[in-house]
Amino acid sequence: MTKLSFRSHAAKKFEEGSPLTDTFGRKHNYLRISLTERCNLRCTYCMPAEGIQLSPKEHIMTYEEIYTIAKKFVQMGVTKIRLTGGEPLVRKDAALILEKLASLPVQLTLTTNGVIVDRFIDHFKKCGIKTLNISLDSLHSHKNKEITRRSYFEKVYQNIILLVNEGFFVKVNCVLMKGFNDDEIIDFINLSKKLPIQVRFIEFMPFDGNRWNMDKLVSLEEILSKVRSSYKKEDIVKLEDAPNDTTKSYQIKGYQGNFAVISSVTNPFCDGCNRIRLTANGQIKNCLFSSKESDLLTPLRAGKSITPIIQKTVQSKLKIRNGMDTLDKFGQPSAHSNNRSMIAIGG
């Protein structure tokens, strides 16, 4: 089958009832919604030191618009929704948004920096939220302050313990940067000895303003090398990964929790990608690394159907990292300069 006929065949299949299946057969059932571009931290890998130009308030989706768009995606096949930001919980109507989305037949969860999660414990339980991703990039308060530009380490750490004690499954997200926190890999893994959590090491990724370069990258293989030099081979257990997992998961024998690696740079997982992103100002992105966006908010406010836009966006998704299918291509600064900062995309 030629490339052209393959595309035609895929388009025909798409028209026959698979609106969130792209031309490579990937079914998109996972929607990540950014509630806000604002945050109570200033993490270096997420935003430039000078901050970003925030979208005008009138350009940010209302809770009704978030619900309407989410409902449309659910009708099209989405079964999981993750709320992100910025920091999703700093939005004044965050609890209301949680309740509205919890009425949909989806698995609801969120990614947060953990600073104010203690205020939402009852809301999480009411909305059926069982897992949360918490960002924590160092176990040392001074290093945590350096990377977040704020002094909230103790609060976040205690909130992780609180969530565990309240019965939530916590995934601790740690962005690794060479020469900064890569010496804490084993310390983070040892957190999972007595805590039933998953520690997730994330390769440092390039976004506008975060001064990324390959020299700061701590690769999947480097992480595993440190693990192998610290634990007996027979004690390192490879866990089974789900079909759409972004992680490669492991456990140290006898530990309550486990650890995982998200290797977006050195070992991308594009073949199993099932994600679509909705920014706080109503744009959808079919790939984290794509600078192209499709506006849903303007047509929604004009009373027009957003279904064709969603379909076209899914169909235009490229096979690997928005076309950056080699490390050489990915390592070019110009390839990322037109993309947003992470805080404006949604973590």
**What's the pLDDT tens digit per position in 139-149?**
999 999 998 88
* Spatial distance between the Cα atoms of 136 and 280, rounded to a whole number of angstroms: 23
User: Among 130, 133, 139, 191, which Cα is nearest to 166's?
Assistant: 130
**What's the pLDDT tens digit per position in 175-226?**
999 999 999 999 999 999 999 999 999 988 765 555 656 778 899 999 999 9
* Spatial distance between the Cα atoms of 84 and 71, rounded to a whole number of angstroms: 17
Mean of all residue pLDDT scores within the chain? 88
Q: Which CATH code, of 3.90.1570.10, 3.40.50.1820, 3.10.20.600, 3.20.20.70, is assigned to 28-49+56-345?
A: 3.20.20.70
Please compute the mean of the pLDDT values over residues 231-260 and round it to a whole number.
95
Using DSSP, state whether 252 is helix, strand or coil.
strand
Domain boundaries, the chain: 28-49+56-345
Q: Which contiguous run of DSSP H or E holds residue 308?
A: helix 307-315
Higher pLDDT, 166 or 206: 166
Residues 6+ apart with CB under 8 A from 292: 285, 286, 316, 322
* Spatial distance between the Cα atoms of 143 and 193, rounded to a whole number of angstroms: 23
Kindly report which listed range (48-57, 145-154, 159-168, 287-296) carries the lowest average pLDDT score: 48-57
The position carrying tokens 């004044």 is 92
